[in-house]
Amino acid sequence: MLRISKYQLFAMVVIFQLGTTIIFGFASSAGRDAWISSLLVTVLGSIVVGGYLLIFRLTGGLTLVEWPTALLGKWIGMPIAWLYPFVFIYDGARIVSDIRFLFPITILHGTPNWIIGISFLAVVAYALYSGFEVVARMLSIFFPLLVVFLLAETVLLGFSGRINLLNLLPVLGEGWNRVFQTIWPLGITQTFGETIEFAMFWGYLDSKDRAQLGRIMVGGCVLSGLCITLYILLGSACMGESIYKQMMYPVFALLKLPNIFDLLDNLDAVGVIYLVITAFGKLSLHLFAAVFCIRKLLGARKDWGIITFLCPLVFFYFHDDGD
């Protein structure tokens, strides 16, 4: 039977919630006050995740796909349950679309975006065939790398003299309105609301660690929220509000700023590592959630056939979305 440790679950939560949010920026329409939006969303998102955990415990440990039938009955709950895997597949396909549009304009200039999309999807498909525990171990290894890169980038920007805290003033100079507009609905649903997928994975946590499930999930939410907030603060402080709001990929722009004695600069490769790790992790978890949902609904014993069905479907989704 599948088993994951509490550290693996924590790492998966953080990487999943960072996802492509860390690349494309968050709440940029709030300008220099976007960090306030991020902190508020982190608090509200943690409450939402706590609600998911409460439902999980009240239903006796049932998985996400079993909640509708348990709460609403078979005739109403079953059609709702079937919506979950297709929503997860669609969300995963959008990540592939992000990858195939971002790579050609950053590092793989001139490479057809469909080749990038298929190549990335092939790697994820191989990970799916390798199994959930393998992906969990991979993400637990990638997690400290992300933290180290984030801290190193902050230090490099500080030594480069790029951080200007005056760019963050005045705080709430234009009121709360633009902050609130970024919180609901996109702010919560984009990052923390999607964590409902983990209700498909909680049952695989080691039984000795399940008493700490709440702390693991909420702790992961807080850490991912603080990481996003730090990136927003760095982007606003280094580039200024007007430039930050116009940037489609603020993290890549931010990585071009460090310059230590004209020797260490233009850290685009670090941005690529951010994107690959977080996009790979989030897409893999999206598709694993879909696989587990379909397997539960069909009563299937193996995942091979379901994975073989999912990969062409994801290709169809992202190809249609982009063209």
Has residue 297 been placed in a domain?
A: yes
Has residue 246 been placed in a domain?
A: no
Q: How would residue 51 be classed by pLDDT, with cut points 50, 70 and 90?
A: very high
Q: 88 with 198: CB under 8 angstroms?
A: no
The neighbouring-strand residues paired with 20 are none
Has residue 210 been placed in a domain?
A: yes
What's the number of domains the chain is made of? Answer: 1
**The two three-digit tokens of residue 14, written as one number:** 């953080």
Dihedral, 283, 288, 294, 295 alpha carbons, nearest 10: 160
Has residue 317 been placed in a domain?
A: yes
pLDDT of residue 318: 57
User: Is the pLDDT confidence value at 260 over 70?
Assistant: no
**The two three-digit tokens of residue 111, written as one number:** 């490479």
Pairing of strands 259-260, 264-265: antiparallel
Q: How would residue 33 be classed by pLDDT, with cut points 50, 70 and 90?
A: confident
Has residue 245 been placed in a domain?
A: no
Which residue, chain included where needed, has tokens 């995963």? 92
pLDDT tens sequence across 265-314: 667 777 778 888 888 899 899 989 988 888 888 887 777 667 766 766 67
Has residue 264 been placed in a domain?
A: no
Higher pLDDT, 271 or 35: 35
b/e burial code for range 43-66 (CB count within 10 A of at least 16 → b):
ebbbebbeebbeebeeeeebbbbb
pLDDT tens sequence across 191-231: 788 899 999 999 888 888 888 999 999 999 999 999 888 88
Alpha helices in 19-166 (DSSP H): 21-24, 34-58, 67-72, 74-102, 113-130, 132-159
pLDDT of residue 258: 74
Q: Domain range holding 182? A: 6-235+272-322
Has residue 154 been placed in a domain?
A: yes
Q: What is the pTM of this model?
A: 0.90
**The two three-digit tokens of residue 299, written as one number:** 């009563």
C-alpha 81: how far from chain center? 23
User: Is the pLDDT confidence value at 15 over 90?
Assistant: yes
Q: 95 with 238: CB under 8 angstroms?
A: no
Has residue 94 been placed in a domain?
A: yes
- Residue 205 — φ and ψ, nearest 5°? -70, 140
Average pLDDT over residues 244-256: 75
**The two three-digit tokens of residue 43, written as one number:** 């608090």
Q: How would residue 322 be classed by pLDDT, with cut points 50, 70 and 90?
A: very low
| CA dist list (Å): 215 to 13, 51, 143, 209 | 12, 13, 18, 10
Which residue, chain included where needed, has tokens 């006796």? 60
